[in-house]
Amino acid sequence: MNTELLESLDILEKEKNISKEAIFEAIENSLLTACKNHFGKSDNMTVEVNRETGDFKVTAAKTVVDVVEDPVMEISLADAKLISNKYEIGDVVNVNVESKEFGRIATTNAKNVILQKIREEERKVLFDQFYGKEKDVVTGVVQRFMGKNISINLGKTDAILSENEQVKGEHYTPTERIKVYVLEVKDTSRGPKIFVSRTHPELVKRLFESEVTEVKDGTVEIKGIAREAGSRTKIAVYSNDPDVDPVGACVGLNGSRVNAIVNELHGEKIDIISWNENPAMLIENALSPAKVIYVIADADEKTANVVVPDYQLSLAIGKEGQNARLAARLTGYKIDIKSESQAKEAGDFIGYDEEDYYEYDEEYSDEEYYEDAEYDEDGYLVPTESDEEGAEEEKTTEE
């Protein structure tokens, strides 16, 4: 029996990562529980389990008395003399307790204590395992739909992908494998409760770390990310090695690296730009793919005035203001974008009327601006007639 016990403990430790020491302690506690159920008390009892052989011993410390009133706590002098002649009245004798005398109820309770300890240790191991993966990316399998939430199987437990953390437009099917970002891991009585996300900007960062060696080893740093999940992400990168091009490293040969991430994100567009300590240069890069004539940035007010060619205005703003909005989030600057014609009409770039140009901030509503707008197949605004006329005038002037 002891050999079978040790083999079982080895299996538990290997398969469930439950330490043998924790189970030995559970066995000791279960035997004390059995003693309490059988004798009514166990304050004077101790249990020892040999970690090498699996043998266990239950002893009760009893006081030697003339007349025994409590057989659990006391022992007669005659019985004590049978153990050893050295005992006298008032001495304490350690008496072996035969566990085979325990009744069925006491034995069942002892079994339940051991099973409960195993379940607790299993929950603890799972919690520790996934708590270490918090703020990281894991691969899961779409398990089932729970209303508008989705259960994602992570192997030994399930995670919850709530409606708010799902990308609008993405469709998930059972048994589909997806990568998710672990938002939070909570310890509950039923095991760890794991919340994951497909919309978090850090998901993109972790995907680049797993796909791009230079990002993983720290040669290339990701300085900032702005994301509108399911549509577009802007990411600013910087190289700590002058011989390594940060943008090229992230793009990969023929776009292999970034395309792998785009595929994982189901076609979400990713703009990779170079980080620059100069805020004006950073803002110019952030407005890519639009070309910028010049930028005036106020580092104290965190505002920037940008002038672009007339034919690039719609591209700089982007569909429904997306390009400007992401650039503002990425740089942390409130960006005012104006066409070259508008800047010339104003005369002074800093002192013009706000109604003459597009001003970006988080509360800005551009529904009216885009009410009659048209977009090309890439999702960018088609230049208006006034924009085209301005571009033609500029071309004639240059000629």
**Model confidence pLDDT, tens digit, residues 301-321:** 999 999 999 899 999 999 889
pLDDT in the model for residue 315: 92
- Does residue 102 have a pLDDT over 90? no
Q: What is the pLDDT of residues 206-216, one digit of tens each?
A: 999 999 999 99
Q: What's the mean pLDDT in 60-82?
A: 86
**Whole-number pLDDT of residue 333:** 93
Read off the pLDDT band of 294 (50, 70, 90). Answer: confident
For residue 150, what pLDDT band results from cuts at 50, 70 and 90? very high
What residue spans of the chain are helical by DSSP H?
A: 2-16, 20-39, 77-83, 104-131, 201-211, 213-216, 246-251, 256-264, 279-286, 313-317, 322-331, 340-346, 385-398
CA pair distance 229, 372, nearest whole angstrom: 26
- Output the pLDDT for position 368: 39
Please tell me the predicted confidence (pLDDT) of residue 97: 80
Stronger pLDDT, 360 or 324, i.e. the higher one:
324
**Token code pair at residue 177:** 């494998």
The lowest-confidence range among 27-31, 106-110, 275-279, 377-381 is 377-381
pLDDT category at 101 given cuts 50, 70, 90 is: low
Q: Which helix (H) or strand (E) holds 303?
A: strand 303-308
**Predicted confidence band at 166 (pLDDT cuts at 50, 70, 90)?**
very high
Inter-residue contact 353 to 333 (CB < 8 Å): no
Identify which of 48-52, 111-115, 127-131, 357-361 has the greatest average pLDDT.
127-131
Q: Which domains does the chain have, with CATH numbers?
A: 2-130 (3.30.1480.10), 136-198 (2.40.50.140), 200-275 (3.30.300.20), 279-399 (3.30.300.20)
- Residue 104 or 327, more confident: 327
Asked whether residue 32 carries a pLDDT value surpassing 60, the answer given is yes
What per-residue confidence (pLDDT) applies to 203? 95
- Residue 339 has a CB neighbour count (10 Å cut-off) of 26
More confident residue, 384 or 287: 287
The average pLDDT across 188-203 equals 91
φ, ψ dihedrals at 134, nearest 5°: -60, 140
Q: Which of 287, 234, 233, 226 is nearest to 265 (CA)?
A: 233
The DSSP code for 384 is: P
- pLDDT over 70 percentage in the chain: 83
Per-residue model confidence (pLDDT) at position 140:
93
Residue 151 has pLDDT above 60, yes or no: yes
**Average predicted confidence (pLDDT) for the chain:** 81
Q: Any residues with CB less than 8 A from the CB of 369 and at least 6 apart, and which?
A: 321, 358
Q: What is the pLDDT of residue 385?
A: 52
Give residue-wise pLDDT tens across range 245-268: 999 999 999 899 999 999 999 999
pTM metric for this prediction: 0.65
The larger pLDDT score, comparing residue 215 to residue 113, is at 215
pLDDT at residue 399 above 80? no
CA angle (298, 304, 308) in 5-degree steps: 140
Euclidean distance between CA atoms 337 and 348, whole angstroms: 14
